[in-house]
Amino acid sequence: MAGLYVHIPFCSGKCAYCDFASFPGRGEGAARYLRALAAEARRRGSFAPETLYVGGGTPTELSAGEIDGLFDVLDRAYPGARPAETTFEANPESVDERKLDVLRRRGVTRLSLGVQALDDEVLRRAGRRHTAARAEAAFRLARREGAWSLSVDLICGLPGQSREGFIDGLRRALAWGPDHLSLYALETHEGSAWARSGLAADEDAQRDMLEAAWALLAAAGLAHYEISNFARPGHESRHNLNYWRAGEYLGLGCAAASHLGGARERNVQDLDEYLRRVEAGEPAGAESERLAGKDKLGERALLGLRQVAGLELDEELAGVFSAQWSELERRGLVRLRGRRAALTHEGLFLANEAFASFVPPYETAS
């Protein structure tokens, strides 16, 4: 499997929890950015994407004409490519019929809607630009305008969000009938406004919310297939599964990551520096590494464990980390069945502790 990721860095505003490469108020530079994407794609050379994911930022901050232009860029860069899955991220406030018409016509098969919460005060505190009513209207418009798979993003543990309010919002979102739902516990990453203010997530409250949410999602027919992702049968994200299975992918745009030929690379995050480099004919990469030996095996382990079904352990992966597997099983974080390893129910909540066993210095947990 080979995936293509395209980063669109424009946003209507910066959310309080966001540390992604997004740049509010820069949308007027979209035409220049699309030219830079075309130049970077030419420099990268031939590629045959089987999945395409357009993320951000907010890709639907582009106008309908600019979205059409983006697909023209990709058609010229990869002639004849027919991705089996094409995902486009969208925010409720920037979705309209014209944009959805272009997306449908250009072959988008998955639309991922950034709802995050269905409480207007919680949304306001988080810096979101839509209301709960606008989110529902955007979802129903998208359902009416296309036969695509529809995914909804939600966050639990947001400031001002009670357990009851979160569960009420989840029930309302499930009543819309999404095909896929991504559910994240709030993390205050360095670089976000909330991290700078010293806000810390309440992990106990988040766990309580997630326990209740997982039961509701299962009852609604959405299977838990990755730590934060749930889907009806056949609606799992093939592009993201490729990430978790250590497949190859090419990233275009500022901050976009690639994994090709065993090497991992990430483009510069700053928009102006990305544009400068690409327009000067220079590589856009800011960092690159090629994992080997135990490091590469460890990466395969932690990526595979993100999948609820876990991963098969070949002789090398089982042997090199035999002490780690035994310790994680003893602690009740990993379940071993023959050659298959998977996070337990407890392990899903303490996944980062389990993952730490597979990165240097490879100390087993105690």
Confidence of residue 25 (pLDDT cuts 50, 70, 90): confident
Under CATH, which architecture does the 294-358 domain have? Answer: Orthogonal Bundle (1.10)
Confidence at residue 343, expressed as pLDDT on a 0 to 100 scale: 98
Residues spanned by CATH 1.10.10 within the chain? 294-358
Model confidence pTM above 0.75: yes
Instruction: Provide the percentage of residues in the chain whose pLDDT is more than 90.
Output: 91
Per the listing, tokens 């994200």 go with 237
**Phi, psi at residue 139, to the nearest 5°?**
-65, -45
Sheet with 180-185, strands from edge to edge, namely 223-226, 229-231, 180-185, 149-156, 110-116, 85-90, 51-56, 2-8, 248-252, 257-260, 263-267, 285-290
Residue 364 clears pLDDT 70, i.e. is over it: no
pLDDT per residue over 338-347, tens digit each?
999 999 999 9
Across the range 321-325, mean pLDDT stands at 96
The CATH number assigned to the domain with range 2-242 reads 3.20.20.70
Confidence at residue 366, expressed as pLDDT on a 0 to 100 scale: 47
pLDDT per residue over 147-176, tens digit each?
999 999 999 999 999 999 999 999 999 999
Across the range 127-143, mean pLDDT stands at 97
Who has greater pLDDT, 235 or 1? 235
Residues spanned by CATH 3.20.20.70 within the chain? 2-242
